[in-house]
Amino acid sequence: MPLAYWCILIAALMPYVLGKYARFGVESDNRYPREDYDNLPPKKRRAYAAHQNALETFPFFAVSVVIALTMGAPVYTVNVLAVLYIVLRIAHALLYIFNRPTARSLVFAVAMAVSVAIFVSPAFK
């Protein structure tokens, strides 16, 4: 199985890791769990925002990998780009949590460009 497929799994789990981090050590009411996020300290709220962003960007990344590999893009290229995407998404989450908005936005843009590169890679085989 190509490494890029494992990257899909990592990208799929990343939002849940960020969500758990956002709520770690915070008393929660399981009847209304989403209302707890309004009361989180700033760093934890930013982790929750990173969680939401990871959920929002995941579908395009996953579809891009599947399309690229099923349409005959070079597996090595897709693997390298998928790993780069994961590294960028981890950096994005950390920059979000530690309140570095300019760098975070730049990393977000590069990660989206990587997803686009994966998507169009079969056209350049």
Map out the domains of the chain with their CATH numbers.
3-123 (1.20.120.550)
81 and 119 Cβ atoms separated by less than 8 Å: no
Overall pTM > 0.85: yes
- What percent of the chain lies above the pLDDT cut of 70? 94
Segment 9-36 mean pLDDT:
84
What span, in angstroms and rounded, lies between the C-alpha atoms of 96 and 77?
A: 28
DSSP state of 73: -
Q: What is the pLDDT of residues 48-94, one digit of tens each?
A: 999 999 999 999 999 999 999 999 999 999 999 999 999 999 999 99
Segment 2-18 mean pLDDT:
97
Asked whether the predicted pLDDT for residue 35 surpasses 80, the reply is no
What span, in angstroms and rounded, lies between the C-alpha atoms of 88 and 77?
A: 16
- 55 versus 37: the higher-pLDDT residue is 55
